[in-house]
Each structure stands twice: as structure tokens, then as C-alpha cells.
Amino acid sequence: MIKTRIDTFEAESFIDESFLRKIAKLKILSQKKVYGMSKGEHKSRKSGTSIEFLDYRKYHIGDDLRYVDWNVYGRLDKLFIKIFSAEEDQNIHLIMDMSNSMSLGSPSKATMAKKIAASLMYIGLSNQDRVSLSSFSSELGEFKPPAKGKKLYVPLLNVLLQMKPEGETGFNDSLNQFANICKQPGIAIIISDLLDPAGITEGLTTLRYGHFDVHLIHVLDNSEINPTAKGYFVMQDIETMGNKPMSIDHKVLNAYQENIRQVIRETNLFCGKNKITYNLYDTSTSFEDFLLSYLTRGALKLEI
């Protein structure tokens, strides 16, 4: 029988509870203006009624007299209205690469990516952000509009844990589909190994044009970054399942390592030029250490 629902205990124990309590104190803040749908935890440049003063403007007939600064009126004999920064929720979109290549490693890249996503999801929901969760392989999977409320954590985690790596990677097409479907821009966090022969720049650019604050977490197994195996092998493409005999020696390993370093450099350079946050995650590092380092070094602005 196919398991269609993850047990509640399994979902809640996927990440250590003490770590969840620790990160719940963090708040993810977009580096762009916040465009929310209702009052929440984050400051926007729209005028509103929160406690943080923003500016003054001249009084106009019909303005609420409660916001007149009478001290200024006493000094200048003119009416000015106090403007306060609005507090609004924001949208956090978690977009997971679930192509076959994410199954590599022990634990797999997919498992470690899910732990990162679950943690970011918990932070957002704990702070009344609207969170959406979607996956892609050759194309975008089901997309549900972002919703908020801490009670959604376990149901969303159930969805996350049911995601299984399968199929080839269609990075650009999938992100293009996401940009066309999602009508609520916000922070878009893509978690992927970026192993798509067609490249990734088109999809990322589409999100940028769609007014998303784009963050890219590049997940690689340590064996992909620092391979050591030498000898004669029959190599298998994990996505196409095609086989290719290959003799690997010191020269081949050096050429591969230089190639992967070049890919990382070019990706980092592209992201920097296009105001996309880029972070490389080597899965030999604990996801807790990576996540806290990623957040606190300014990848996402924080309030603590």
C-alpha cells in the first residue's frame, strides 16, 4: 500500500524541537519593499497605523484628526499629519528541486534540502508570514497560494516529506511556470543542485522581472565538490539513466574539480550582478550550521 500521509510524530520529529524553538525567534525580512495582503509582522513603506513614525505631510480636509501633531501646530500654526510605517505580512515561496539528481548522497541532497526548507518554513509561519511550498523536476508541480498560521507547519511538512526525487531537471521552464502562476511576489527561495544542462539564468531572470526577491541555495554533495575515486567505471547519468564507460585518473579529477569551481564562480557572479542571493551548501556540513550562517551573514535580513 502506498503511504499517502506522513505520521504526525514523524513530521514533528523531522527537525529537533529545540532547534525549532531557537530559530522561531528569527524573522525573515525581504531586502525589497514588503507587499503584503494584511497586517503582520514586517515593516512596509506604505503608510499605516503601526507604532513606528515615518514622516509628516500636510493636513487635507477629511484626514483623521487623531493623527494631527498638535505640538507642531502650536509652533507653526499649521496642521500636519503624522505618517506611520505599516506593518504587513509578506510572502515566502519555497521552491524545491526534486529531480533525480537530488537523490545523490547519504543523507541525500533532497533530505538536506528538505531540512533547510522546513526550517525556513517554520520561521515564516512563526512570524505570520504567508508561505507557499512547491517542487519541480522536468516541470513545476502543484502550486498552492501562500497561507499563514503556525498551525500550517505540520500539514506543510507532510507535503514536503512526501516529495520524492524523480525525473529530469527543467529549471528554467519550471521557474517560468512559477512566475506566471504566482501572483503574489515576495521572497522566492530556490533550493537546487542546479544540474540542468540548459542552464539556470533564464528562470532566475524571469523571477527577477516578476518582482521577486530571489534567493538561491545551491545544494551539492561533498563527493560532487571533492571527488576522490580513481579507476575504470561505468558512469550513469542519474537523471537520464544513460551509461558511459570512463577511466578516471588524477588528471581527470583535476579537470572536473576546476570545472565545478568554474560553475560555482559563474553562478555566484551572475547572481551578484542580478541582485540574487547565492549560497553554496555542501551537505557534509550540518544543515543547522549552514542555516544559521546563511541567515546571520545577511543572506536574509533578520530581526532577533
Q: Is residue 2 part of a domain?
A: no
pLDDT for 135 beyond 60: yes
Q: Is residue 1 part of a domain?
A: no
**CA gap 76, 220 in Å, rounded:** 63
Residues 64 and 168 in one domain: no
Q: How many domains would you assign to the chain?
A: 2
Q: Find the CATH number of the domain harbouring 174.
A: 3.40.50.410
pLDDT band for 44, please (50, 70, 90 cuts): very low
Residues 128 and 24 in one domain: yes
Residues 75 and 179 in one domain: no
pLDDT for 50 beyond 70: no
Q: Is residue 76 part of a domain?
A: yes
Most confident of 8-12, 43-47, 287-291: 287-291
Residues 47 and 118 in one domain: no
Quick one: CA torsion of 32, 184, 147, 122, rounded to 10 degrees? -30
What are the tens digits of pLDDT across the range 182-221?
988 999 999 999 999 999 999 999 999 999 999 999 999 9
Q: Is residue 79 part of a domain?
A: yes
Mean pLDDT of 78-84: 73
**CA gap 180, 134 in Å, rounded:** 14
Selection from 210, 180, 223 nearest residue 32 by Cα? 210
Mean pLDDT of 252-265: 85
* Reported pTM: 0.76
**CA gap 95, 161 in Å, rounded:** 14
What are the tens digits of pLDDT across the range 90-109?
899 999 999 999 999 999 99
Residues 66 and 124 in one domain: no
Q: How many helices (H) and strands (E) does the chain have?
A: 10, 11
Cα radius of gyration (the chain): 23
Mean pLDDT of 118-128: 92
Residues 78 and 150 in one domain: no
192 is in which domain, residue-wise? 8-30+89-303
Higher pLDDT pick, 9 / 144: 144
For residue 195, the surrounding DSSP H or E stretch is: none
pLDDT computed for residue 65 by the predictor: 75
Q: Is residue 35 part of a domain?
A: no
Burial status of residue 167 (CB atoms within 10 A of its CB: 0-12, 13-18, 19 or more): middle
**CA gap 208, 190 in Å, rounded:** 13
Most confident of 31-35, 87-91, 179-183: 179-183
**CA gap 70, 198 in Å, rounded:** 63
